[in-house]
Chains A and B, each alone.
Chain A
Amino acid sequence: MEGCSVPIRKTRVYTDHLRENLRTIVIFTRPGQVATSASCSFLRGRPPLASRVSPVASRQSPLAAAPLGFSATDMDAALMGSSSVAMGDIPTTGEHRMGTTIVGVCYDGGVVLAADSRTSTGMYVANRASDKITQLTDNVYVCRSGSAADTQVISDYVRYFLHQHTIQLAQPATVKVTANLIRLLAYQNKNMLQAGMIVGGWDKYEGGQIFSVPLGGTILRQPFAIGGSGSSYLYGLLDHEWKEGMSQEEAEKFVVKVVSLAIARDGASGGVVRTVTINADGVSRKFYPGDKLPLWHEEIEPQNSLLDILAAGNPEPMVQ
């Protein structure tokens, strides 16, 4: 991990220099340990937090409710972008959204995260093979749904905080801390963000854990979680077929089935199914291409061409 050898003194000088743009967040980890991290507006070239940041250098008082902030221009751009439907036009511009189906499942020994791969702008599929499962640390990943930009920015901030947190803690971050960092950003900026995330990972204290952080910034630990527009079609399925304590293979097969069923019915989900399995031994990514997924009701075996069907002889006549 680069940055491990950065001496603390150097960090302090850096933060002094940028004092007017600093905000300190105090995070309670395990009892007795406290981690702090500083956020800086020069993250990755993003515009300064400007007038939205109030210089509160301690924990939020309940009456302050000041957001970590994004500049007003971001929001304007987002609002302008999505109002592009003219008479008779198919909407093809607008903010990048991940309609999405995302799933996270605990199994006996770890977790499996799964997602589809469709990113759309209006009715156009901007990216048919996106990766919605993003790494935050070595042992914790997050599934992203909602606005692509919002979830990318949240992931970037949290990855940055966790990097520093891990250095200070001198051991891997816990899944709970990661999920709470996501929650902080989601809750404090709830009026501006559209981000539904599922955080999954493994740590030595609690093993495999899944945390759901839906739209308002609620945080809920669950044995399994679903999210995104495709999840509407999965509530019944999971109520029926979920069971506790699956093996790794069962869990991986299960999530692929679940996501592919959602893809079958949700226009905003599609493409490939990606899974990430996290356990004590590490992380493994798997890739299930769209043409290898099982076929469901009213879906038929794909062919190269009609000509192949005709050549095979005995084609079904369409019209008598």
Chain B
Amino acid sequence: MWNLFFSLVLSASYGSTLRYKSVERIKAVGKHSLIGASGEFSDFQEILRYLDELTLSDHMWDDGNSLGPKEVHSYLTRVMYNRRNKFDPLWNSLVLGGVKKGPKGEEKYLGMVNMIGTHFEENHIATGFGNHLAIPILRAEWCEDMTFEEAVKLVEKCLLVLLYRDRSSINKFQIAKITTEGATIYPPYSLKTHWGFAAFENPSKGAVGSW
């Protein structure tokens, strides 16, 4: 039984202002995939419209088959790369994941594509600051057969680090999960932060006059 996890912050910034603080940046795509995005929110809204068209046409074939995460990722890659070639990119980093039955049983898929068309598939993906702060944690602690609880704890560890160290983050997160049963996007929630370190209370204790 394969599960896939997405988590992100509910924030849309405008320069350095944390302008919108309840923005949901994960959406389900068809029956088998989830998409998450960072970057320009208006372009993400447009991408969601394209995906609506795509899934609608797919549904209208009425042939019992539906687009899986690999297919959706491929479509998005073409869109992003072609826009890049016209010097008019969709300014986003997209994470696409899902689970679909394939010839070898249930196949899970996780990939990303960004505004210049770079795309790849991996067991753990991050965008923005997550590439620098979260990926090292995931590389060290991810393993093939994690339970739901272990995965949530791992993802929350990354989110907390990003909350401490990324200026554009806020303490409001959303986690989504996709399995063969379908997508579940959990409601927004906040994490407790930890500030009770002696060194935080008295940073210059051992060196009076310093900072």
Please report A residues at the B interface, Cβ cutoff 8 Å.
59, 62-63, 65, 187, 190, 214, 216-220, 222, 232, 235
Q: Chain B residues near A216 (CB, 8 Å)?
A: 40-43
Q: Chain A residues near B19 (CB, 8 Å)?
A: 214
Q: Chain B residues near A232 (CB, 8 Å)?
A: 17
Identify the stretch in B45-53, B114-122, B170-178, B186-194 within 8 Å (CB) of chain A at 4 or more residues: B45-53
Report the Cα distance A62→B54, complex, angstroms.
11
Indicate if the CB atoms of A63 and B82 lie closer than 8 Å.
yes
Report the Cα distance A65→B12, complex, angstroms.
24
Q: Chain B residues near A217 (CB, 8 Å)?
A: 42
Report the Cα distance A222→B20, complex, angstroms.
9
Point out the residue from B23, B40, B83 that lies within 8 Å of A220, measured CB to CB: B23
30 residue pairs A–B, Cβ–Cβ below 8 Å: A59-B53, A62-B46, A62-B50, A62-B79, A62-B83, A63-B79, A63-B82, A65-B83, A65-B86, A187-B42, A187-B45, A187-B46, A190-B42, A214-B14, A214-B19, A216-B40, A216-B41, A216-B42, A216-B43, A217-B42, A218-B12, A218-B41, A218-B42, A218-B45, A219-B42, A219-B45, A220-B20, A222-B20, A232-B17, A235-B17
Q: Chain A residues near B50 (CB, 8 Å)?
A: 62
Q: Digitize B60-104: 1 where CB-to-A-CB distance is under 8 Å, 0 elsewhere.
A: 000000000000000000010011001010000000000000000
Q: Digitize B26-42: 1 where CB-to-A-CB distance is under 8 Å, 0 elsewhere.
A: 00000000000000111
Report the Cα distance A221→B53, complex, angstroms.
22
Size category of the B interface is 10 to 19
Q: Chain B residues near A65 (CB, 8 Å)?
A: 83, 86, 88
A65 to chain B, nearest CB (A): 6
Report the Cα distance A235→B13, complex, angstroms.
13
A150 to chain B, nearest CB (A): 16
Closest to B20 in A: A220
Closest to B76 in A: A62
Report the Cα distance A187→B128, complex, angstroms.
24
B81 to chain A, nearest CB (A): 10
Report the Cα distance A218→B12, complex, angstroms.
10
Closest to B82 in A: A63
Interface of A is mostly: loop
Report the Cα distance A214→B86, complex, angstroms.
25
A53 to chain B, nearest CB (A): 17
* CB-based closest 9 A-B pairs: A216-B42, A218-B42, A217-B42, A62-B50, A218-B41, A62-B79, A63-B82, A187-B42, A216-B40
Report the Cα distance A220→B79, complex, angstroms.
24
Q: Chain B residues near A59 (CB, 8 Å)?
A: 53
| Extra contacts besides A190-B42, A218-B12, A218-B42 (9): CB < 8 Å | A62-B50, A65-B83, A187-B42, A187-B45, A214-B19, A216-B43, A218-B45, A220-B20, A232-B17
Q: Chain B residues near A214 (CB, 8 Å)?
A: 14, 19
- Known contacts A216-B41, A218-B12, A219-B45; A63 and B17 CB within 8 A of each other: no
Report the Cα distance A220→B12, complex, angstroms.
11
Q: Digitize B118-145: 1 where CB-to-A-CB distance is under 8 Å, 0 elsewhere.
A: 0000000000000000000000000000
